[in-house]
Amino acid sequence: MSTTNARTDISNQFPDWTDYNLLATDPALQASLAHAGVDWAEPMLKVYAQQLGHAQTFELAGLANRHTPELHSFDTRGQRISSVEFHPAWHALLGMYRERGLVSLPFENPAQKGRWTAWAAGFYLHGQIEQGTLCPATMTQASIPLIAREPALWAALGGKLMSHAYDARDVPITEKASLWIGMGMTERQGGSDVRANTTLAVPLDAGGRCGAYRINGHKWFYSAPMSDAHLVVARLSQEDGPLGCFFVPRWRDDGKLNAVHVQRLKDKVGNRSNSSSEVEFVDAIGTLIGEEGRGIPTIIEMATYTRLNCVLGSAAMLRSALVQALAYTRRRSAFGKHLAEQPLMRSVLADLALESEAALALSMRLAQAYEDEDAGSDPLARAWKRVMTPAAKFWVCKRGVELSGEAMEVFGGNGYVNESLVARLFREAPVNSIWEGSGNVMCLDVLRALSRERDALEQLYADFSNAALDEPRIAKALRELHALFTAPPDQLEGIARLLVQRLVLIAQACLLKRHAPAFVADAFIATRLASPTGINGVVGAIDVRGLDVDAILERALPQ
């Protein structure tokens, strides 16, 4: 008789939290929708939130990230095809998003109030489950306003860009039911300095009258190479020529593949489900969009939209990390209590909850600013869009990196394995901070915007001052920020990160003061605006005495 008793049952361990409605369990998001008056979108969002929360959808996200895209450079007879193969889970997830109409929602009905908020909510919900599929969705959406200004292109592409159908076929544009658009800016020698571009575009005819160009060069990062077309920055005719923005389709009008040769797919830290590539143009055919010499402003307009999506994507990851951490700590026990009842863990969870709700509030206010500016000349909306978009991208995306790591620690060793959902969030988080401009680029962009639009800061001050009327801590922080901005111009760049951090924290405090319960707003202000630098060190290093932690955690994920 064996003297060993190998036990196979496992106790006090719990799987990732699934099978829940992402909207029904998020009071802060529900409040944002109510404030924006988007009752018309709630039925769609509720159904989508339920679909996303299914365990099967979580499994699709895991599969799409484990079975990464594969490049097939040639067919069986040696013909170059530069084809990227995706796991079926990728197509299932991307199809879910497109079929909800979320790619085109902000542009379908300009008179529809709250259309940008409704879209932002859908993007935020999807981003809590899978992030890589949002890359082609983001670029496609951001291309719509640019292409809409090109009558000939829009006549051919508009209906396909606005389509809710999902068409994954790799065939010419004329045969497609819907389209995906990517972008190509970055080159090996340039990085964030897009003006260091060396890719050349030469007119097919001497006068450039036909609008078509032959493009030769290289892109170090070419996002989503299986898109139906890309917007590409290239120099016109010569190495020191002006820059233009070009529409470069995957298939030419004659039914042959365009000469955009995918050299390799990038082996990225995260964003594994999505393909990013390095490509070479060998007499590829493209069409100039926008004006000659205005390539950078044209592509930066597209990038402004994608930066908003980066903010929302990072806010979604903060929410996902918070939900998983809260659900886990409420079930797992240690030292005689559930983890969520342990005082120090409660500090960590409360800090995560405050950061998540503040990121959501900021994201939704930004989305509203895009809608308000679309509706007409609104100086405050322009200030929010031009100044607060790069500011929010800097801060929220940075916080996503730090807080996803903290959430992973909540799970201990179980969080530090590739199978863990929070581990995928941790690997994914840096992409939004890097893509479309790193942290330093965003801070410099804030300074640049303020130097060009001198009334923007005053517009923001006036907006924030309304919330500071009965909140002396916000008023004091505003005075301190104003003093920082009066530093000599040659000193501002060196303190740009400090300036932008303070600007965002004040904006978040004001938004929560206006729209969140008092226990949330007071806790955020107490823990974010108290110190001169505006942050209190590591996550959970807050003084919870006097804070209603029970209410904060219950709002974060109602039991």
Mean pLDDT of 411-426: 94
Q: Which of 127, 132, 162 is nearest to 148 (CA)?
A: 162
- Give the pLDDT confidence score for residue 206 in this predicted structure: 61
- Give the pLDDT confidence score for residue 498 in this predicted structure: 94
Q: Dihedral through CA 240, CA 241, CA 243, CA 246, nearest 10?
A: -120
Name the range with the highest mean pLDDT among 192-201, 213-222, 292-301. Answer: 213-222
- Predicted confidence (pLDDT) per residue in 318-342, tens digit: 999 999 999 999 999 988 999 999 9
Q: Band the pLDDT of 534: cuts 50, 70, 90.
A: low
Q: Band the pLDDT of 1: cuts 50, 70, 90.
A: very low
Does residue 266 or residue 466 have the better pLDDT? Answer: 266
Mean pLDDT of 241-245: 91
- Give the pLDDT confidence score for residue 295 in this predicted structure: 85
| Cβ contacts of 533 within 8 Å, gap of 6 or more | 498, 501, 502
Q: Band the pLDDT of 445: cuts 50, 70, 90.
A: very high
Q: pTM, whole model, 2 decimals? A: 0.95
- Give the pLDDT confidence score for residue 208 in this predicted structure: 52
Mean pLDDT of 371-384: 88
- Give the pLDDT confidence score for residue 4 in this predicted structure: 52
Lowest mean pLDDT among 117-131, 182-196, 399-413, 430-444: 182-196
- Predicted confidence (pLDDT) per residue in 69-85, tens digit: 999 999 999 999 999 99
Mean pLDDT of 171-197: 88
Q: Is the pLDDT of residue 102 over 80?
A: yes
| Cβ contacts of 293 within 8 Å, gap of 6 or more | 236, 242, 243, 244
Q: Which of 328, 323, 334, 368 is nearest to 119 (CA)?
A: 368
Quick check: helix, strand or coil at residue 324? helix
Q: Is the pLDDT of residue 536 over 70?
A: no
Mean pLDDT of 479-492: 91
Axis crossing angle, helix 472-485 with helix 496-515, rounded to the nearest 10:
150
Please report which helix (H) or strand (E) contains residue 276, including its range. strand 276-289
**Contact (CB, 8 A) for 72 and 81:** yes
Mean pLDDT of 22-42: 97
Mean pLDDT of 98-113: 96
Does residue 454 or residue 54 have the better pLDDT? Answer: 54
Q: Which of 357, 320, 315 is nearest to 511 (CA)?
A: 357
